[in-house]
Each structure stands twice: as structure tokens, then as C-alpha cells.
A and B are shown apart, each in its own frame.
Chain A
Amino acid sequence: QVHLVESGGGGVQPGTSLRLSCAASGFIFSSYAMHWVRQAPGKGLEWVSVIWYDGHAQYYSDSVKGRFIISRDNSKNTLFLQMNNLRVEDTAVYYCAKGGGAFSGSGMSQPGDWGQGTLVTVSS
């Protein structure tokens, strides 16, 4: 059974950094792409980033490109999101999700199983 647990969220000031983690279990982590998706309070889903199964390719939404870095440690079954220069508009629940469907190891994978999310609040 797939289990994803996000951690590292909290309240921070604009311009600071935060690192989110997503601990994975119940599947062969190193075989699947992984996504980060966020949801601002009362708003819809926004895709943030994806990393290929082997970590060799990463892609980002325009809203976070140049500020966020996605990475993974396949030896520890853990996904990360380093968030730098945070803005008020980055306030959201951040979900990690396992790549699914066709092309499940690549950027064309579709977010499948999701964690419960971790809340990031950016405020002065």
C-alpha cells in the first residue's frame, strides 16, 4: 500500500527558505517519477514540479522556476522540495504525489497516490 508523508511545513517570513520532505513507502520508489502539487487556501490545485524516477530531469511551473529545487534520495525513499526566496503567494498546502498512469517514471506521468499535505504559510 502506497504511503506518502510530507513534512517540513510551517510559518515563515517572505524572502526566507524552507525545505519540504516526503517520505515514501509501499512501492519501489526508485521506479517512479514524483510530483509536488500545491493548493492555496480556498483555491484550486496548482502543479509545482516533477522529477524523473532517476532524478536526472526536473521541471517546474513558471511561478516557482528559479526559486524552488526538487530532488530525491532513492536510497532513502525520500523526495524533497527546497523553497527559496518565499513569497506570500507561495502560501499553500503542499502535496507530494507518486507518478502514475502511462510513462510513470517520467515527467509525462500523472500524479497518482497523494500524501496528506503539509501547510506552508508565508507572512510578514
Chain B
Amino acid sequence: QSALTQPASVSGSPGQSITISCTGTSSDVGTYDVVSWYQQHPGKAPKVIIYDVRDRPSGVSDRFSGSQSGNTASLTISGLQAEDEADYYCSSYTSRNTRVFGTGTTVIVL
């Protein structure tokens, strides 16, 4: 199972919006609405910020939003803040009853 494809890095200035793409196939992202997104700061465990393509867990800022079109899922961070600088990973269920993560994206706040 190949990893989902994400850009290596995305940057933006404070207050701007950025979008991270997550491209899979019809065997994962394109078929199952169980895509999740994770934020990971250096030396810390990952934290889920989006479930089921677009749902935010309790306590997660509404500046984070998820969407999906075809084989690509996307995470948008609005009103970028310094604390958003971290690594972000997408993840999807697959037709083989397994799960796959994305390659990861480093968000840089300029």
C-alpha cells in the first residue's frame, strides 16, 4: 500500500489561509469517507484535528477545515498562527481493510 501523496511543505504568513492536499486512489480516499488529519509538533505525539473528511473533534479550532473531491482530500488552515507551524498528515481507510497515512507536510509560518 503506497502512502498518500502530500506536498513536502506549505508556507504562509500569519493571518493567511493555506491548503494541504492529500492525493490517493479509488481504493482509499476516493471511495471511503473516513479520511482523518493529524497535527504533530516536534517531539510530540500526533493529534487528530479532522475526522471523517470534515468533522472537527471537540476542542479543535474552527480555523481547521477538511474537504474531499474525487481521490483528493484537503485540509485548510484559516487565519494562520505561529502555533500552527507543525507537521500534518492525512490518513485514509483502504479497500484492503487497512489504513494508510500521507507522506506528511511541514507547515511553515513566515
Interface residues of A (CB under 8 A from B): 35, 37, 44-47, 50, 59-62, 95, 100-103, 107-117
Give the interface size class of chain B.
20 to 34
B96: A residues at CB distance < 8 A: 59
- Judging by beta carbons under 8 Å apart, are B45 and A101 in contact? no
Closest A residue to B103 using CB positions: A44
- Main SS at interface, chain A: strand
A114: B residues at CB distance < 8 A: 45-48
CB within 8 Å of A: which B48-80 residues:
48, 51-52, 55, 57
- Judging by beta carbons under 8 Å apart, are B1 and A62 in contact? yes
13 A/B residue pairs, CB under 8 Å, sorted by A:
A46-B101, A47-B91, A47-B98, A47-B101, A50-B99, A61-B1, A101-B36, A102-B52, A110-B34, A110-B93, A114-B46, A114-B48, A115-B45
Closest B residue to A104 using CB positions: B51
- Judging by beta carbons under 8 Å apart, are A100 and B98 in contact? no
Q: In the assembly, what is the distance between CA of A46 and CA of B2, in Å?
A: 11
Given known contacts A59-B96, A113-B48, what 6 new A-B pairs fall within 8 Å (CB)? A47-B99, A102-B52, A108-B93, A112-B51, A114-B45, A114-B46
Interface: B24 (CB within 8 A): no
Q: Quote the shortest CB–CB distance from A109 to chain B (angstroms).
A: 8
Q: In the assembly, what is the distance between CA of A44 and CA of B91, in Å?
A: 12
Q: In the assembly, what is the distance between CA of A46 and CA of B89, in Å?
A: 10
B51: A residues at CB distance < 8 A: 100-102, 110, 112
Give the 7 A-B residue pairs with the shortest CB-CB distance, closest first.
A101-B51, A110-B36, A44-B104, A47-B99, A114-B45, A45-B101, A59-B97
Interface: B100 (CB within 8 A): yes
A112 and B48 in contact (CB under 8 A), knowing A45-B89, A102-B34? yes
A59: B residues at CB distance < 8 A: 96-98
A110 and B98 in contact (CB under 8 A), knowing A47-B91, A101-B36? no
Q: Quick one: CB contact mask for B81-110 with A, threshold 8 Å, 1 for yes?
A: 000000101010100111111111000000
